[in-house]
Structure formats: structure tokens, C-alpha cells
């Protein structure tokens, strides 16, 4: 149980275009999903907290107009990288905890990540 | 101050030996959870084990155990009888907070790259 599906797994796009990444919880519901970014050989850094039915909460230094997050339902959150540039090339990974067991001591379950390359 | 500190950027261990990956944490919350994740080269994050701040016993999951020393704020991961498939990045992480709304983020350490030598 607690499977998170992320799509696409890899995407290459041209500079200036937009890319949408989907994160779905397949067998559970989640009011909150988290979006992380990981540069090569570095740790995971939280970009934003996605809240179902309301605006996302962005971490300091993350441009909300560039990284658009929509959490339309209890099982789907999307991250759109708008007007992508080569410096946005990174590994993006989403995560969530089942609503029924949400607590500080519940593990986050992660999608398999999306490797974005902007040329 | 760093919330999660992993001081070993890389470790090499002989197959079948035990290995300890260090993790110290910093929090003023009374309620928190400590987690270990494995990230193979393919990138997915695999949850290994967790320890709640109120748990009195050290957590164990198969070959993984967590050496939790609350007073020292350390939560070291011990892998017994290491296997070649254990080669990966290992991240220690913490989730703080007392709410039950599920909106507490995970904060990660910088990770330890473990390489198992045949």
C-alpha cells in the first residue's frame, strides 16, 4: 500500500517552454503533498507544500510564479515549471502521507521522481 | 543550525559486515519522528525505518536497526550483514510537530553514500 505515482519519469524540454509533472497517490488520499528538488549529489530540498483545495505554501527562495502547484483533489497534485531554463534542470520528487495516518511520526511515501533536462 | 547532520559523506564496507551510518538532529519540539531513506542510483526514495520521539525501544526492521539516543540527539542507522544491493545513498530525515494534519515536512540530512565491496 501507500503507492505514489509520478509522471513523467524523464522529460527534456527547450528553454522557455513549460513542463507539467503529475503526482498521484494511487491507493490513499492525502490533503497534503510535498514537492522536493534534488540537484546532483545533493540532498532533497523542500520546494513547496501542496494543500488540497487551497494555495500551496512555498519555501523561502522558491518562485511561486515559476513553479505553479495545483492540488485539485485528494489524490493528485501537479507541479508546472513555467518558462523553464537550463538552471531548472534537476530531479523533482513528490511525496505524501495517507490522510488516515497523518502524523509527525508517519513516513512520507515518495514518487519515483522526474528528471528534468532543459536544453 | 542544521536540523539534520550526517557527517559521513561516503563509506566503504566489506560485504557481510555491519555498518553504522551516523545521524544527529536538532529540534526543540517534544514530538518528532526520525526516518531513514535509501536512494539507489535510479533515484527513488525507499523508506527503511523510523523512530518516534516517545518510543522507548530502538526500532528494528529486518537487517535495519536504529540506535536512538535521545539525550545525545542521535539516530544512527545500523545495517547488519551488508549486501551488495545495499550500495546507495542513505538519508536521515526528521519530521517535527504535534499536529495530526499531516502537513509537517520532512527535513533531510546531506546523506551518506554507502558502497559495499565484494
pLDDT of residue B19: 97
pLDDT of chain A, 119 residues: tens digit per residue:
689 999 999 999 999 999 999 999 998 888 889 999 999 989 999 999 998 888 899 999 999 999 999 998 999 999 999 999 999 999 999 998 877 665 666 788 999 999 999 99
pLDDT at A115: 97
A-chain CB neighbours of B45 within 8 Å are 44, 93, 95, 110, 113
Beta bridge partners of A93: A36
pLDDT of residue A108: 84
Please report the pLDDT score of residue A44 as a whole number. Answer: 96
Q: Give the nearest partner residue to B44 out of A46, A49, A110, using CB atoms.
A: A110
Q: Which residues share a beta bridge with B92?
A: B36
Tell me how far apart the alpha carbons of residues A4 and A18 are, in angstroms, rounded to a whole number.
Answer: 23
Is-contact A77 A50, C-beta < 8 A?
Answer: yes
| Grid coordinates of B53 | 520521539
Residue A45: which of A59, A33, A32, A56 has the closest Cα? A59
Specify whether the CB–CB gap between B75 and B23 falls below 8 A.
Answer: yes
B108–A44 CB contact, under 8 Å: yes
10-residue stretch averages of pLDDT, chain B, 118 residues long:
91 97 94 94 94 92 97 97 97 80 81 97
For residues B60 and B68, what is the distance between their CA atoms, to the nearest angstrom? 11
Test B50 with A97 for CB contact under 8 angstroms. Answer: no
pLDDT at A105: 66
**Distance from A112 to chain B by nearest Cα, in Å?**
5
The three-class DSSP label of residue A101 is: helix
The pLDDT, as a whole number, for residue B31 is: 86
Residue with the three cell numbers 494534519? B101
Pairing of strands A109-110, A114-118: unpaired
Amino acid at each position: 500500500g501507500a503507492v505514489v505515482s509520478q509522471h513523467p519519469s524523464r522529460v527534456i524540454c527547450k528553454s522557455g517552454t513549460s513542463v507539467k509533472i503529475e503526482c498521484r497517490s494511487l491507493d490513499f488520499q492525502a490533503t497534503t503533498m510535498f514537492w522536493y528538488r534534488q540537484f546532483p549529489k545533493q540532498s532533497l530540498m523542500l520546494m513547496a507544500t501542496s494543500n488540497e483545495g487551497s494555495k500551496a505554501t512555498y519555501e523561502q527562495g522558491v518562485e511561486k510564479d515559476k513553479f505553479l502547484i495545483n492540488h485539485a483533489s485528494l489524490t493528485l497534485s501537479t507541479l508546472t515549471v513555467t518558462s523553464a531554463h537550463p538552471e531548472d534542470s534537476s530531479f523533482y520528487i513528490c511525496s505524501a502521507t495517507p490522510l488516515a495516518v497523518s502524523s509527525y511520526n508517519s513516513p512520507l511515501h515518495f514518487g519515483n521522481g522526474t528528471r528534468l533536462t532543459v536544453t | 543550525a542544521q536540523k539534520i547532520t550526517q557527517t559521513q559523506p561516503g563509506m566503504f564496507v566489506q560485504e557481510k559486515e555491519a555498518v553504522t551510518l551516523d545521524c544527529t538532529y536538532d529540534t526543540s519540539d517534544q514530538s518528532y519522528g526520525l526516518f531513514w531513506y535509501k536512494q539507489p542510483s535510479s533515484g527513488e526514495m525507499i523508506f527503511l525505518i523510523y523512530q518516534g520521539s516517545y518510543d522507548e525501544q530502538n526500532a528494528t526492521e529486518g537487517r535495519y536497526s536504529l540506535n536512538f539516543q535521545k539525550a545525545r540527539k542521535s539516530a544512527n542507522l545500523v545495517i547488519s550483514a551488508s549486501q551488495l544491493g545495499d550500495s546507495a545513498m542513505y538519508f536521515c530525515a526528521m519530521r517535527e510537530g504535534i499536529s495530526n494534519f499531516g502537513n509537517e515536512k520532512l527535513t533531510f540530512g546531506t546523506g551518506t553514500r554507502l558502497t559495499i565491496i565484494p
